[in-house]
Amino acid sequence: IDDKQAYKARIKTLLQQKDAVLVAHYYTDPEIQALAEETGGCVSDSLEMARFGNAHPAKTLIVAGVKFMGETAKILNPEKTVLMPTLEATCSLDLGCPADAFAAFCDAHPDRVVVVYANTSAAVKARADWVVTSSIALDVVEHLDSEGKKILWGPDRHLGAYVQTQTGADMVLWQGACIVHDEFKANALAELKKQYPDAAVLVHPESPANVVDLADAVGSTSQLIKASQTLPNSTFIVATDRGIFYKMQQAMPDKTFIEAPTGGNGATCRSCAHCPWMAMNGLQAIEAALTDTAGHEIFVDAALREQALVPLNRMLGFAK
Ligand code: 13P
Ligand code: SF4
């Protein structure tokens, strides 16, 4: 614990010296989220992270999350230095959607508007007409559908199927998945619901459809936190990364939050739902990035950046 305090103190000094601000995702460990809050940074969902980094005057952004979040920050703020605790922190959706294969998929459907989830590389965004995060995916697709557009969606197949069901839009889907949310099990969740009949079930739409079907609220991380505050229930079963419990518990200290099961056969697996890449964002790595930027700085090819900026700005403009 003393060690952690020492790291935190050094990071606070470095943030000031380097005119840097810490931008963290809800899935990072509680101590990282607390540090971002204490130092005037932000803790939020991926859309708000992009907005915050864009609006903040600091010269350096240190992004505690996964690589696509750092890349998005750099695309939006090429004049800023964008650092990450580790460049190894990726995402299974990004890994499962290589730019060349995705471009071939788009080429095979030239009549479709290309909508990609933010959890993708700069090169995939560069091929897209729209970028969306889970908090505005429904609104954007609804809007495109109302204009009679047909959609090519990538990479998350569960989120894509959810959006398709909700909007009725004509969509073809890339078949990617999040290794964390894909593990939630509907049977075990239904069993757990029986044990807590008064609990509301909160589900991130990267989860399989049969898990989403059991939800009282479906949404992005920030939307799920909001639901935990606005629904009258005092107990919640939560199907998303356990990093989110920090914020939920902080906002609603008298409510009870239970992890949705990831084990099959009725077995519940506690603390399993945690993204291994989000977990890489430790205090030591943050200090290292602020001390020596080498190996921590995000660079995006200038031509790709220009192309990827177009669908990203469309998203930010739409979400206003
Ligand atoms: P949010 O946009 O809901 O924060 O989700 C990002 C993410 O990676 C979910 O797994
Ligand atoms: Fe990617 Fe899933 Fe991790 Fe989110 S939780 S960053 S979607 S692997």
Number of domains within the chain:
3
**Residue 267 has what pLDDT?**
52
214: CATH:
3.40.50.10800
Describe the crossing of helices 2-17 and 283-291 by its angle, rounded to 10 degrees.
30
Which residue among 231, 259, 287 closes a domain? 259
Å from CA of 151 to ligand 2 middle: 23
Residues 34 and 107 in one domain: no
- Annotated binding-site residues for [4Fe-4S] cluster read 91, 178, 275
Strands (E), 68-156: 81-83, 113-117, 130-132, 151-154
Tell whether 61 and 100 lie within a shared domain. Answer: no
In the prediction, which pLDDT does 272 show? 73
Closest CA to 174 of 152, 195, 194, 191: 152
In a domain, 168, yes or no: yes
Whether residue 222 is found in the same domain as residue 282: no
Residue 130: φ, ψ to 5°: -135, 145
What pLDDT, on a 0 to 100 scale, did the predictor assign at position 271?
55
- Using the mean position of ligand 1's atoms as its centre, give its distance from the Cα of residue 222 in Å: 9
36 Cα–ligand 1 center, Å: 18
ipTM > 0.95 for the complex? yes
Residue 110 lies in a domain: yes
Q: Report yes or no on 249 lying in a domain.
A: yes
Same domain for 246 and 214 = yes
Report the pLDDT value the prediction gives residue 268, as an integer from 0 to 100: 54
Q: What's the farthest any 2 CA atoms get from each other in the chain? A: 59
Do 160 and 186 belong to one domain? Answer: no
**pLDDT (0 to 100) of residue 319:** 73
Centre of ligand 2 to C-alpha 277, Å, is 8
In a domain, 314, yes or no: no
Nearest CA to ligand 2 atom 7: 178
| 290 plus 253 within the same structural domain | no
Reading the block at residue 303, the tokens are 């031509």
Residue 313 lies in a domain: no
Binding site feature residues = 25, 46, 91, 117-119, 134, 178, 204-206, 221, 275
End-to-end Cα distance, the chain: 41
Domain limits for position 133: 93-173
Between CA 108 and CA 23 the distance in angstroms is 38
Q: Which residue has the tokens 């800023």?
A: 80
Whose Cα sits closest to atom 5 in ligand 2?
275
254 in a domain, yes or no? yes
103 in the same domain as 82? no
Residues of the chain falling short of pLDDT 70: 1, 264-271, 320
Residues 25 and 57 in one domain: yes
Q: pTM score, two decimals?
A: 0.95
The answer to the question of residue 103 being in a domain is: yes
